A and B are shown apart, each in its own frame.
Chain A
Amino acid sequence: MASVSVIEAGRPVLGRRSLLRTWRGGLQGSEFAWALAFCIPYVAVFLAFVAYPIVYGLWLGHNPALYAELWQDPIFQMTVVNTIIYLAVGVNVKMFFALLLSGFFMRRGWWVKGLLMIYVLPWAVPALPTFISIHWMLNSQWGLLNNVLWDVFHIDGPGWLDTSRWMALGAVIVSYIWKNMPFWTVILLAGRMSIPQELYEAAEVDGATGLRRFAHISFPLLANLYLVCTLLSTIFTLGDFNTVTFVSGGGPALTTHVLATIGIRDAFDIARPDLGVAAVMTALPLMIPLVLILMRKLRTSEVQL
């Protein structure tokens, strides 16, 4: 009896100690206090500048009536369609050409390196001036493009950003691709460079060249990286505010807004911050699965390329 009671009495003590050890992460005494002291500022900053704004945003946009109001608004409906087109076309075209171009930039030669340097310039220069420049270039009245069309061919160019939704959205997508493709090309180039050269040499011995080498070596080994990059890029692009704002301004007549820009319009132009937050929140059903897939892919990609 006595031995049983000793064991039973000792169990909770062992449990508490074990919990404490787990909580301390194996650290002891002053080490734990130091660790805590270093963590507190980060946790405080995280709570103040990440957690609090997110919770506040969720609270601002919590009223279901806001979502009903949004979905009844034809401008919002058009915005959702624009966002889907922007993501589907913009991201995929950009990633596909980035994949192809990364192959081109694998070629040897000083002029390829020089070309690569020029090619990455659009990504390296600040976004706002470039998008504003594009906006001015496409101005139908005094823009560079229409002036060139007039001077060279003596024809009046169209109102690129002025009258047609599709032309303006096209201009936004092309600007987005032009600006962002170099970055992803470089990422995929790095991916290609990490593929062991022996694989290509072995394939060459077997008589595989060109497209077959790409189909059987490069693409399978790059597939995971390509998918992760595409997911990541989709998440970035979903929150892209600059391209639409500074190229088309959401025009003509509010027809080229995307979720990131309509949220700002609702919050500050219409002075309805709750509606603006709700508009941005509507991206969550797309955003959350993307993040989850991305996390899964990142886990598996550790053992691949």
Chain B
Amino acid sequence: MKVPTRRSVLRGAAAAVAAGTLVRPYVANAAAGTATVWWTQGFVPEEDAAFRSIVAEYQKASGNTIDYSLVPFAPLMQKIISAITSGDVPDLISHDVADQAIVPQNAWNDKIVDVSDIVEAQKSEYHPTAYLASQYYNNVKKQRSFYFIPYKTAVVPFHIWIPLVEKAGYKLADAPKTWDAFFDFFKPVQKKLRDQGMRSLYSMGLQLTTTGPADGNNLFHAFLIANGGNGIVTKDGKPHLDDPQVKEAVVKSLTYLADAFKGGYVPPGALSWNDADDNNAFHSKLMVMDFDGTISTEVALYHDKAEYNAIATLGLPARNDGGPNAAQLGVGGGFIPTGAKNVEVAKEFMKFVIQPKVMNSYLKEGLGRWLPAYPSLVKSDPFWLDPSDPHRPNYVREGLIDQTVVNYPVFNPGYAEVNATQIWGSAEADVIRNGLTPEQAADKAFKKIETILAKYPIVQS
């Protein structure tokens, strides 16, 4: 065997470097038609299959390549934050809570590409709340613009085990139609079931958590709105923490939630639940009712029809003052981070995704866990309001037919930090664990929110 000499090794290394240099232009050329895409992995395999199917369809139609990664919810969030921090970003990102957790702050810092051309082209189709949720304030340009391309929406419905309610001797149809009274309906259900030997059963899956990311905030905001406190942040981005109506709504919400916990109606572990824990507990029939975003709870049991049909999905009861309630409409979409190498293909792909036909078939194939961003689709396609399905019609009505409001980070990116720090979950814990009164906990939360929002002064144009 020939012994390699120093010269031969150095020659070989130089040749390898030269070969690498020659190969690079090939990669660069390929990138001209390739977009790197990070997409949230679905809750059920059907959602991922539906995504792969639209990618294949797009690639066939355009000749471009979508180099995609389907990443689970939590790791994707870490990946996105790392990418944006380091500047090494993909061409397109879609994360389920991007409208509340990533886009607001990064649009503020001018780290997202303006997509006005794409969103404006579909303005007439978009649900007004979804359209609103595509616009964010850019603090460098000192103006609002479109940074988010919505293609799906979701609300938080109630999920209830019908057999458990009936086993306790109640009928769901008898549940009151106003907010607090509706929750109260489940308290005696717990007692009756415990009397029958179901020792570990609780009536409500309330996510009084400081863990997050989304459930605890969704729960508190639903209570806040039901108590008349939706004006906590307004469209101009201004907080209204000194508004007595807002303060009263916060105190009422904290009082109800803390009392429910202290009264033993909520699993004690709820204080540390993450977004999946309540789903797991509900599936294990450890609570009668859960209030959780999307109908993921139900579609996870889609292939077990007996279980699927044993759950009732209900929209929101009226506000406590008897007025019509409004759900916060979560909006899923795509955004292009600044520094993306192939903005054009990313934009083309999103234009394809938000075509009504594509959007509809994509979300339908995903078992309807997410609702379309276009209300016309649920009116034209019987799939969405099909009365034979026990879940979709109520979910669709709550999200796309009844009144909805936008998530507060859309109005002020500081509220994204308020959500991320789980200020409301901490306020609930202050009442439950630390002996604060709801008023004291509310004041403490307001002080924190004020400090955070002060970092995001929005100039009115």
**Interface residues of A, Cβ cutoff 8 Å to B:** 30, 33-34, 37, 60, 139-142, 150, 159, 161-163, 248-254, 267-273
Report the minimal beta-carbon distance from A295 to chain B, rounded to whole angstroms. Answer: 32
Verify B82–A273 contact, CB threshold 8 A: yes
Inter-chain contacts of A267 with B (CB < 8 A): 81
B77 at the interface (CB under 8 A from A): yes
Quick one: given A253-B433, A271-B102, are A163 and B268 in contact (CB under 8 Å)?
yes
B420 at the interface (CB under 8 A from A): yes
Inter-chain contacts of B10 with A (CB < 8 A): 37
Verify B269–A141 contact, CB threshold 8 A: yes
* Binary CB contact string for chain B from 182 to 206 against chain A (1 if under 8 A, 0 otherwise): 0000000000000000011010000
Not counting A251-B272, A252-B429, a sample of 18 additional A-B residue pairs whose C-beta atoms are within 8 angstroms of each other reads A30-B6, A37-B9, A140-B269, A141-B202, A141-B269, A141-B286, A159-B269, A161-B269, A161-B272, A162-B269, A250-B272, A253-B429, A254-B422, A269-B212, A269-B420, A270-B417, A271-B102, A271-B416
Can you give 24 A-B contacts (C-beta < 8 A)? A37-B6, A37-B9, A139-B269, A141-B202, A141-B269, A142-B200, A161-B272, A162-B271, A251-B271, A251-B272, A252-B271, A252-B429, A253-B272, A253-B426, A253-B433, A254-B210, A254-B426, A269-B420, A270-B417, A271-B101, A271-B102, A271-B417, A271-B420, A272-B417
Report the minimal beta-carbon distance from B8 to chain A, rounded to whole angstroms. Answer: 12
Verify A162–B81 contact, CB threshold 8 A: no
Report the minimal beta-carbon distance from B368 to chain A, rounded to whole angstroms. Answer: 29
B199, B210, B274, B420: which contacts A253 (Cβ < 8 A)? B210
B317 at the interface (CB under 8 A from A): no
Verify B268–A273 contact, CB threshold 8 A: no
Inter-chain contacts of B102 with A (CB < 8 A): 271
Chain A binding site: helix, strand, loop or mixed by DSSP?
loop
Nearest chain B residue, comparing its CB with the CB of A273: B85
Quick one: given A161-B272, A271-B420, are A251 and B211 in contact (CB under 8 Å)?
yes
For the complex, count residues of B whose C-beta is within 8 A of A: 37
Inter-chain contacts of A251 with B (CB < 8 A): 210-211, 271-272
Verify A34–B6 contact, CB threshold 8 A: yes
B421 at the interface (CB under 8 A from A): yes
Quick one: given A33-B6, A253-B433, are A268 and B274 in contact (CB under 8 Å)?
no
Inter-chain contacts of B199 with A (CB < 8 A): 150
Bound CA span A58–B422, Å? 27
Report the minimal beta-carbon distance from A5 to chain B, rounded to whole angstroms. Answer: 40
B231 at the interface (CB under 8 A from A): no
Verify A142–B286 contact, CB threshold 8 A: yes
B394 at the interface (CB under 8 A from A): no
Inter-chain contacts of A254 with B (CB < 8 A): 210, 422, 426, 429
Verify A142–B284 contact, CB threshold 8 A: yes
Bound CA span A34–B420, Å? 54
Bound CA span A248–B210, Å? 13
Inter-chain contacts of B202 with A (CB < 8 A): 141
Nearest chain A residue, comparing its CB with the CB of B80: A271
Bound CA span A142–B101, Å? 33
Report the minimal beta-carbon distance from B350 to chain A, rounded to whole angstroms. Answer: 23
Quick one: given A30-B6, A141-B200, A253-B425, are A273 and B269 in contact (CB under 8 Å)?
no
Verify A268–B286 contact, CB threshold 8 A: no
Most buried by B among A142, A163, A252, A271: A271
B78 at the interface (CB under 8 A from A): yes
Verify B269–A271 contact, CB threshold 8 A: no
Bound CA span A267–B421, Å? 11
Verify A249–B272 contact, CB threshold 8 A: yes
Nearest chain A residue, comparing its CB with the CB of B200: A141
Verify B9–A273 contact, CB threshold 8 A: no
Report the minimal beta-carbon distance from A24 to chain B, rounded to whole angstroms. Answer: 15
Verify B9–A163 contact, CB threshold 8 A: no
Bound CA span A273–B426, Å? 21
Verify A249–B284 contact, CB threshold 8 A: no
* Binary CB contact string for chain B from 1 to 24 against chain A (1 if under 8 A, 0 otherwise): 000001001100000000000000
Verify A163–B271 contact, CB threshold 8 A: yes
Inter-chain contacts of A159 with B (CB < 8 A): 268-269
Bound CA span A267–B79, Å? 11
Nearest chain A residue, comparing its CB with the CB of B77: A268
Inter-chain contacts of B128 with A (CB < 8 A): none
B213 at the interface (CB under 8 A from A): yes
* Binary CB contact string for chain B from 52 to 86 against chain A (1 if under 8 A, 0 otherwise): 00000000000000000000000001100110010
Inter-chain contacts of A250 with B (CB < 8 A): 211, 272
Most buried by A among B200, B267, B272: B272
Inter-chain contacts of A252 with B (CB < 8 A): 271-272, 429, 433
Nearest chain A residue, comparing its CB with the CB of B420: A270
Bound CA span A226–B421, Å? 41
